[in-house]
Amino acid sequence: MKPCPDLFGKGLLSAAILLAQLTAFSLEVRLQTRHGGALSGEILRFEDNAVTIGIGTAPPRKEVSVPLDSIQGVDLPTADLMRNPSRVLHLAPLFPYASEALRQGLLEGARHLAGNGLWMECHTWLEALEGVGFTAPERLLLGLTRARALHALGLHTALKTELTRLNGAISPIDAPLALCILNAEARLRDTELEKALYWAQLPALRLPTHVDPYLQDLAECLERQLGAPVCSSRSSLR
Amino acid sequence: MLGRPFSLCLFLLNGLPLCGILPMGDQWRSATVALSNGKAAEAASAFEAFSSWYGEEPAAREPVFQEALLRLWTIAAIGAGQYPKALDLMAAWMPGRSVGDPFHSFFLFQQIRLHLALEQLPEFEDRAAAFLLAYPELPERCLVRWYLAKSALLQENRSMARQQWEAILQDAALPALGRELARGAMALLELHEGQALQAFTVLEGAGEHTPILKRWRTYLAPALTTQLLDAELPELAVEATSWLNPSTAFGLDDEILSAHSPSPSRHSLRNAIWQSHWNQETRHLGSLLGREDPQLLRDYGLRLRALRLAGRFRPVRNLAQALIASRAALPPDLLAMAYREGIEALLAEAQWLTAQAWIDAFIEASPNDPALPAMRLMAARALAGQQDWKCAIRGVESLLHDWPNHPSALTWAFLRGVWLLGDHQPAEALQQLEGLAAKAPDSWRPLIGLQQAKGLHATGQTEAALHLLQLLARDNQVPANIRESAALEELKLRLLLTGPEFDAALRYYRETFPEGRLAAMVETLAGTCHLARGEWEQASRIWQSVAALPIREAAFARQQLIRLLPQRRQWDTLRREVVRWLRLKGPDLLDFPTEALEGAHLYQEKTGSPALPPDLLTDLLGALETGRQGLPPLLCLDLFEGAWPHYDETLGAAETPFATWLEHLASPLNPNPRTRSIARLHLAERLEREGRTDSADALRMGVLQDEPGQPWEPEPAFILARTADRYDFPDAAERLHSFIVRSKSHRRYPDSLFLLANRMMRDARPEDARPLLKLILIDWADSPLALQSTLQLADLHLEAGQPNEAQALLEPLLARRDLEPELIAQALEQRLQAELSLNNLENALLTGIRLLSIYPNFGDICRRSVDRIRSTIGPMGLDPEMASLRDTIEILLLQLE
């Protein structure tokens, strides 16, 4: 693997960073260009809106620099990537050109990390997917995953921003259960009890009804705090 | 199977050439082969030809062969749909066969089916009874009972049908999914019978969630909900609406029922019979259900209505809010309905202002919606709810003007009459109601009569009103609810007259409406009557009985008791009532109502004995630590202090003085932030009582800074909001607003409105201050703050260039005789300003003279007023009379100087 010339010789730290980056790029990639060409090789580096890949295994191997705007499709082995999710940010420039298979792989990766409770990695992963053209349902799923990650990481301000975005993207009548729970918890945190109750009650109110034990308990607790109409002194005298 | 005779006949007849028919053996073979290939019609005709040609042959008459012929021919005839022929063949097969013989049960079962298919009901019932008697162990008994139920339905004998379904549902032989289908069929029957409660019980099941039951629930939920609501069972209706699923397409899925028979083999005859039954019944029941498409509008309409009628207003509001927020994804009709139900819920909760905001939002969003009249009526009702009768009447009048021929015009006119009564315009109300009575349908007359009686009383014609009420209450043609209301109104009037007739009217009510829905109210009136006559014991007894009931009036009765018993010095009874009240549990009851705790506090003050038993005391401390809705924490500490030597041990502070315990609670070492803050607030109250206001406020500010986000009960929430407002904390407005939203019936409510309004005015937001002040005038007109609020509101109107509105507020104020002079002077100053704005110069000058001559002590007010007059009314160009008035003012001012 040929080192990056502009970083060479700048001391131990630079060498360490270089090594880390090289390790990050040691992934096989398949590129489809706009002109119908197909290239397969190892990613070496990104520079000046171009990606350099090394073709062939034995030295001297050939290095090819491909401008990003001439790429039509990219394929990467996401299973390898998932083993070390922190590398994903380095590869983000390629994701806007992701093939269908890679898109699905990236989605699966987010699901897998969330499913295993690796919220920090999941958050990084989702950051890298910013430029990918997902469908609306996929965007909703990713948004929800991001919100769950932010909640788990305790990043409440960012969570509120994400929830505002998600609430604008889907009608409350169709909001997934997870979104209702996150909204209820965020409102509760801000002591907006009425709004928290709204989100906690929603899944059990709309049709088809969905009774979630956690939300049910929360709603009952909130209703108790907010108080049902009671025959207190003045109202009963009217 | 056929054995020797068959071989013999084949041997004898093999190869005989006959025209149109095969030789005997071949004919037999062709028939049996056709049958085994599933060609039932072909087999039946081949058997018939065989019988016709060879039936009399000795070989064919041989009993074993004859049995086989009849049996196979019967099966072919059933398969070919030749039911009468099949029945004849079975009748020929049966003699000589007995219970337990091969094929006996099968043919008996087939006879049952065929008689039912041919609607030969007596024969069917005879055979069915014979089967159940002969083969009680066979699982097909379920199917036979099923047929019996269907036959009963054909004969419209629904009780028999229900009996059979019940037997089926209890039969262990029925496959599980079959039971679900039976359950659906039974629910359908109950619904057709109008037995909503039974249908609900059948469908509710015991925690079973099979796909078929879910589907039944979904299909039957709309009809079931409607019937449950009609039967005034809204709680069950809410449960039924939770089964609605607008996204489920119609169809009872045959596949769900496949492979559910008592037979382990999928290809057995028994399995075929059961499957055929399930398929047939699924189709049949599906056709009875009717094929309705999923209806989002209908389903949500039912859900919202059921929730509202069950009194679950907050869920109605939340669901309606979600529907409104999802308007892009929903049909427009649904939006109007969501608004309507949400507003109804808000009106029911007496949240008038929010209701009005919703109505405005709807009218703005859908100005041409057909629901507009209904919405405008709701707006008028919201105003009436706020006792803003004039605006409500204007609202309903505009409806009558815009839609004079609307189907609801009668209701609008009626409401106009009722609200005129509310607005103390009984003469106009009577005119409206009398006009209405002349043209309304007969069914409306009693309702109108009830209001007319109120109008008559309000115009001083109490005897006429009593006469009308008596007529209504004693007329059996009048609906019972109106009769009962009339009896109640009569009692109210009799109570005012304090004559002996009250007892007669009370006796009449008690005898006529022993289970009356207004009984608690009537008993409350009786209690009040006894109290007025000084019959303390009777009053106390009545209120004690009402207080023990789980009804709304119980709260009033308990409050009355808590007030009455101390007056009578019945301390032990007071304590008993207080403890009983505190032990009451229910969804609408607070755990520790303020009045009860006040009663306990009073008891302790007067007797020096502890009011609360140890268990309640422990509960109270727990509630204090966790924070409980409605609990007045400072009063709790007062209560502890009142009998501290008795309580200290139970509260875990044996031998410790109360002050020490309180300081311990208030110290930063106390890990419970709630009790820590409460103790500090209590200490602050003590300091304030000692006149150390600054120290008290310092403590309160400490609480504000330490636990900024803690949700508080009304009393401390108000104290903290007031402190935040006094010292300009950034969240002061938010705290006041939060208190206003959450504590509408709290005694500090008007104070918080007033503080927030002043804050708004300081922030130059008069448009936000105005509704707050208006609210004080509407809801808390008897509060001491109402006077100051009136002046401030008038001031805002003047600043906004609305002198007429200002005058409308000031006139009733100036007509009062119990005002402080300074307030009158301020009101006069404002009236002068209004008159000047309206260019009523003479009135302005007269007001100025009144101000200067009667209230010269308020020099600043007088000077400001004169300056206004000088700047508006110059000395030149006035007629002599006006010039003289102006001069008088100048002279009065000189005297003042």
Q: Which of B222, B285, B300, B296 is nearest to B254 (CA)?
A: B285
DSSP class of residue B653 equals: -
Tell me: cis bond preceding A208? Omega within 30 of 0 counts. Answer: yes
Q: Which residue of A has its CA nearest to B738?
A: A192
b/e A7-40 (16+ beta carbons within 10 angstroms → b):
eeeeeeeeeeebeebbebbebebbbbeeeeeeee
**From the list B326, B709, B745, which residue is nearest A233 (CB)?**
B745
Query: For residues B1 and B60, is the Cβ–Cβ distance under 8 A?
Result: no
Chain A residues near residue B741 by CB distance under 8 angstroms: 194
Count CA atoms closer than 13 A to B802's CA, side-chain side.
13
CA angle B731, B732, B738 (to 5 degrees): 85
A164-186 per-position pLDDT tens digit: 999 999 999 989 999 999 999 99
A57-101 per-position pLDDT tens digit: 766 778 888 888 888 888 888 877 777 777 888 888 888 888 888
**From the list A201, A205, A236, which residue is nearest B556 (CB)?**
A236
Q: Which residue of A has its CA nearest to B296?
A: A207
First-last CA distance in chain A? 87
- Cβ neighbours of residue B208 under 8 Å, at least 6 residues apart? B180
H-type alpha helices, B655-692: 658-666, 673-689
Provide the shortest C-alpha distance from residue A79 to chain B (in Å): 37
> Given this model, what pLDDT does residue B528 score?
81
**From the list B247, B326, B556, which residue is nearest A171 (CB)?**
B326
CA distance B567 to B542: 17
Chain B residues near residue A231 by CB distance under 8 angstroms: 552, 554-556, 588
Provide the shortest C-alpha distance from residue A235 to chain B (in Å): 6
Q: Which of B290, B343, B284, B293 is nearest to B313 (CA)?
A: B343
Answer yes or no: is pLDDT of A235 > 80. no
CB contact under 8 A, B314 and A223: yes
* A229 part of contact set with chain B, CB < 8 Å: yes
CA distance B110 to B129: 14
Chain A residues near residue B594 by CB distance under 8 angstroms: 232-233
Overall pTM surpassing 0.80 (yes/no): no
Provide the shortest C-alpha distance from residue B92 to chain A (in Å): 57
- Cβ neighbours of residue B778 under 8 Å, at least 6 residues apart? B386, B387, B388
CB contact under 8 A, A205 and B322: yes
Which residues of chain B are modeled with pLDDT < 50? 1-19, 255, 259
CB contact under 8 A, A198 and B321: yes
CA distance B428 to B426: 6
Q: Which of B339, B392, B345, B401 is nearest to B370 (CA)?
A: B339
φ, ψ for residue A45, nearest 5 deg: -170, 165
**From the list A172, A224, A226, which residue is nearest B322 (CB)?**
A172
B447-476 per-position pLDDT tens digit: 999 999 999 988 888 888 989 998 998 888
Helix B296-309 × helix B211-230 angle, to 10° = 60
**From the list A171, A223, A235, which residue is nearest B328 (CB)?**
A171
Tokens of B817: 């005789």
* A224 part of contact set with chain B, CB < 8 Å: yes
**From the list B245, B313, B329, which residue is nearest A174 (CB)?**
B329
φ, ψ for residue B820, nearest 5 deg: -70, 145
A130-164 per-position pLDDT tens digit: 888 888 889 999 999 999 999 999 999 999 999 99
CA distances from B592 to B560, B607, B619, B888 (A): 17, 21, 10, 64
Q: For residue B758, which amino acid is it?
A: N
> Given this model, what pLDDT does residue A199 score?
95
Beta-sheet pairing, A50-55 with A71-75: unpaired
* A154 part of contact set with chain B, CB < 8 Å: no
> Given this model, what pLDDT does residue B888 score?
85
SS (H, E, C) A184-231: HHHHHHCCCHHHHHHHHHHHHHCCCCCCCHHHHHHHHHHHHHHCCCCC
Chain B residues near residue A197 by CB distance under 8 angstroms: 314, 318
Q: Using CA of residue A62, residue A65, residue A68, residue A72, what is the dihedral sign?
A: negative
Provide the shortest C-alpha distance from residue A214 to chain B (in Å): 17
CA distance A159 to A50: 34
Q: Which of A47, A97, A145, A223 is nearest to B315 (CA)?
A: A223
* A164 part of contact set with chain B, CB < 8 Å: no
CB contact under 8 A, B555 and A232: yes
**From the list B303, B552, B709, which residue is nearest A231 (CB)?**
B552
Q: For residue B145, which amino acid is it?
A: R
* A193 part of contact set with chain B, CB < 8 Å: yes
Chain A residues near residue B552 by CB distance under 8 angstroms: 231, 236
Type and span of the H or E element at B655: none
Tokens of A82: 């998932």
> Given this model, what pLDDT does residue A151 score?
93
H-type alpha helices, B533-584: 536-547, 552-567, 571-583
CB contact under 8 A, B555 and A231: yes
* A202 part of contact set with chain B, CB < 8 Å: yes
**From the list A171, A191, A223, which residue is nearest B329 (CB)?**
A171
Question: What is the CB neighbour count within 10 angstroms for residue B836?
Answer: 23
Q: Which of B745, B751, B778, B782 to probe by mutation at the A interface, max A CB count within 10 Å? A: B745
Question: What is the CB neighbour count within 10 angstroms for residue B600?
Answer: 29
Query: For residues B858 and B822, is the Cβ–Cβ distance under 8 A?
Result: yes
If you count residue pairs, one on A and one on B, with CB atoms under 8 Å apart, how many are there? 108
Tokens of A131: 């430029």
Q: Which of B318, B337, B783 to probe by mutation at the A interface, max A CB count within 10 Å? A: B318
Provide the shortest C-alpha distance from residue B735 to chain A (in Å): 12
Residue spans of beta strands (DSSP E) within A48-185: 50-55, 62-67, 71-75
CA distance B235 to B306: 7
Strands, sheet with A62-67, edge to edge from the N-terminal-most edge strand: A62-67, A50-55, A38-47, A28-33, A71-75
Residue A45 pairs with which residues in a beta bridge?
A: A52
Provide the shortest C-alpha distance from residue B626 to chain A (in Å): 11
> Given this model, what pLDDT does residue A51 score?
87
Q: Which residue of A has its CA nearest to B326?
A: A171
* A226 part of contact set with chain B, CB < 8 Å: yes
Residue A32 pairs with which residues in a beta bridge?
A: A38, A73
φ, ψ for residue B713, nearest 5 deg: -70, 165
Chain A residues near residue B314 by CB distance under 8 angstroms: 197, 201, 223, 226, 228
CA distances from A215 to A207, A212, B232, B320 (A): 16, 5, 29, 19
Provide the shortest C-alpha distance from residue B358 to chain A (in Å): 17
Count CA atoms closer than 13 A to A62's CA, side-chain side.
7
Helix-then-strand count for chain B, H and E = 49, 0
Chain B residues near residue A198 by CB distance under 8 angstroms: 318, 321-322
- Cβ neighbours of residue A128 under 8 Å, at least 6 residues apart? A88, A89, A91, A92, A95
**From the list A202, A204, A232, which residue is nearest B745 (CB)?**
A232
A 203-222 → B contacts, CB under 8 A: 204-209, 211
Q: For residue B413, which amino acid is it?
A: A
> Given this model, what pLDDT does residue B828 score?
92
* A79 part of contact set with chain B, CB < 8 Å: no
Query: For residues A75 and A101, is the Cβ–Cβ distance under 8 A?
Result: yes
Provide the shortest C-alpha distance from residue B762 to chain A (in Å): 26
CA distance B348 to B140: 55
* A235 part of contact set with chain B, CB < 8 Å: yes
Q: Which of A190, A205, A206, A215 to probe by mutation at the B interface, max B CB count within 10 Å? A: A205
